[in-house]
Amino acid sequence: MYDLNNDTDLLLAGFTNDYIEGTLDKTEQTVFKEYLAEDAELASFIRKSTQGKQMLRNAFRVRAADDFEEKLAKRIAKEKQSESPCNSTDLASA
């Protein structure tokens, strides 16, 4: 398809990556979209890459329980209390 040893193809690869990542400025994006209209193979590659990126993003999405923060705060408080130098169990063993 493209030769990354070729400066032109390397530049195109950079624009392709920036397009997929959404980091092109408005003018670059407009010009690149015009280029994609002429290169069906690259347009297909970008479509598939964008879909793959979205699928990976969704595959690792984790939803915590509604009471997660509350349980976490209680657990942290309990851990801090058990590590406290004034803990009654520490005094009893001294």
Neighbours of 19 (CB within 10 A): 20
Average pLDDT over the chain, rounded to whole?
Answer: 85
pTM of the predicted model as reported, rounded to 2 decimal places: 0.55
Residue 3 and residue 1: Cα distance in Å, rounded?
7
> Is 73 contained in some domain?
yes
> Is 14 contained in some domain?
yes
> Is 78 contained in some domain?
yes
**For range 38-53, the mean pLDDT:** 93
Cite the beta strand spans of 1-65 per DSSP E: none
Range(s) of the domain holding residue 55: 7-84
* Lowest model confidence (mean pLDDT) among 11-15, 70-74, 87-91: 87-91
> Is 92 contained in some domain?
no
With the C-alpha atoms ordered 54, 55, 59, 64, is the resulting torsion angle positive or negative? positive
Domain count along the chain: 1
The pLDDT score that the predictor gives to residue 8 is 76
